[in-house]
Amino acid sequence: MQVFKCDHCSQPVYFDNTNCLKCQNKLGFDAAQIKMVSMHLHQDGSLTESNTGKDYHYCSNQQYGVCNWVIPNDNPAKFCMACSLNRIIPDLSKPEYLARWKVIELAKHRLIYALLRWDFPIISKNVDYERGLAFNFKSDSDMPDGQRVMTGHANGLITMNIAEADDVEREMARNSMDEVYRTVLGHFRHEIGHYYWERLIDGTDNLPKFRALYGDERYSYQEALNHYYKHGAPADWNQNYISAYATMHPWESWAETWAHYMHMVDTLETAYSYGLSIDPQIARNLDVKTAVIDQNAYFCKDFETIYQLWLPLTFTMNSLNRSMGAKDLYPFVINTAVKEKLKFIHQVIHGVG
């Protein structure tokens, strides 16, 4: 994600900020411009952009502290583009559910930001039920007979168990599933991958290439699921897949790899925004990769460039984390097969190749 600034005083600000600590203006994200706007708050509660005089109002979910997106006053919508996709939200009378919803919404808004960066159409199921997108955020207490909410995707509807927003519960799930990485944002990137498989692969000219790289999706998903949970991933899974779960079925291989591509591009945009260069002192004597991150990966048409920038950045990120006594931020290895899968996703997104 890019580094944002207050467009009134140029103070660096975060994506979810609602106030500039330097000039005291109100802040909000304008999805149409993909930028943070700085606004003057009038006594009557109205908001006017400082530089242009344009009038805005906050998304209605701003009152809960879960959204800072703004809507021009010539649009009467109550909810912003991101929040309008919600169908079910948690019971807000329970403080712990509100806290979890905040975590979920921040991650979901980051997801929508990425789609805006690619200029993807974001269509609500309220507008197009067959091809649109929607979100359900539910708790296990919503389910009958002790059933659990299953996080997943079905025909454009992404459902997330709000327990994923609890650090302890998510870490327990990560350990029980023997995963190296599990985050709320990672879940969203995985599930949106399923959605875009239906939009960009199924029934298109991309399908034969998909099958050549990922396998035949016509193989029974339920049988594949049963086999995976009974036998686990093959011992040599890391020779051809980005994760153990990716071995389960071609759809999951696609979704895991799609999420991984989003990790790469968004992190590289942050590095680009900060003007990072990777030039280790040991590189002067050893064959260590260096990088000048001088391109925004969201707009880079050449996958090899993205790949060559990514490798030294991941080494740096992991080294920094280890210096803080933390786990590797990037616990993955991109093998040759995964590189080709990532390249295909890049080509599909950019319409190249």
Task: Per residue of the chain (353 residues), give pLDDT as tens.
Answer: 999 999 999 999 999 999 999 999 999 999 999 999 999 999 888 899 999 999 999 999 999 999 999 999 999 999 999 999 999 999 999 999 999 999 999 999 999 999 999 999 999 999 999 999 999 999 998 888 878 999 999 999 999 999 999 888 888 888 777 778 889 999 999 999 999 999 999 999 999 999 999 999 999 999 999 999 999 999 999 999 999 999 999 999 999 999 999 999 999 999 999 999 998 877 666 667 889 999 999 999 999 999 999 999 999 999 999 999 999 999 999 999 999 999 999 999 998 65
Q: Is the residue at 227 inside a domain?
A: no
Looking at the structure, tell me whether residues 132 and 48 fall in a common domain.
no
Looking at the structure, tell me whether residues 106 and 183 fall in a common domain.
yes
Looking at the structure, tell me whether residues 129 and 165 fall in a common domain.
yes
Looking at the structure, tell me whether residues 94 and 182 fall in a common domain.
yes
User: Tokens 């090899």 — which residue?
Assistant: 304
Looking at the structure, tell me whether residues 57 and 145 fall in a common domain.
no
Q: Which of 180, 200, 220 is the last residue of a domain?
A: 200
| The model's pTM | 0.95
Q: Is the residue at 222 inside a domain?
A: no
Looking at the structure, tell me whether residues 98 and 185 fall in a common domain.
yes
- The string over 278-298, giving b where at least 16 C-beta atoms fall within 10 Å of a residue's C-beta and e elsewhere, is beeeeeeeeeebebebebebb
Looking at the structure, tell me whether residues 143 and 186 fall in a common domain.
yes
Angle at 74 between CA 71 and CA 80, to 5 degrees: 20
Spatial distance between the Cα atoms of 251 and 107, rounded to a whole number of angstroms: 23
Q: Which of 184, 200, 216 is the last residue of a domain?
A: 200
Sheet-wide strand order for 26-30 = 26-30, 35-41, 47-49, 55-58, 70-72
Looking at the structure, tell me whether residues 65 and 114 fall in a common domain.
no
Q: Is the residue at 52 inside a domain?
A: yes
pLDDT of residue 248: 97
Three-state secondary structure call for residue 61: helix
Q: Is the residue at 25 inside a domain?
A: yes
Looking at the structure, tell me whether residues 132 and 70 fall in a common domain.
no
Spatial distance between the Cα atoms of 210 and 208, rounded to a whole number of angstroms: 5
Q: Which of 177, 200, 223 is the last residue of a domain?
A: 200
- What Rg value do the Cα atoms of the chain yield, rounded? 21
Q: Is the residue at 137 inside a domain?
A: yes
Both tokens of 90, joined, read: 């948690």
Structural domains counted in the chain: 3
Q: Is the residue at 229 inside a domain?
A: no
Q: Is the residue at 299 inside a domain?
A: yes
pLDDT of residue 283: 60
Looking at the structure, tell me whether residues 258 and 352 fall in a common domain.
yes
Which structural domain, as residue segments, surrounds residue 252?
234-353
Looking at the structure, tell me whether residues 100 and 67 fall in a common domain.
no
Q: Is the residue at 110 inside a domain?
A: yes
User: Tokens 């993205």 — which residue?
Assistant: 306
- The total number of residues shown for the chain amounts to 353
Strands (E), 206-326: 277-278, 291-292
Looking at the structure, tell me whether residues 33 and 108 fall in a common domain.
no
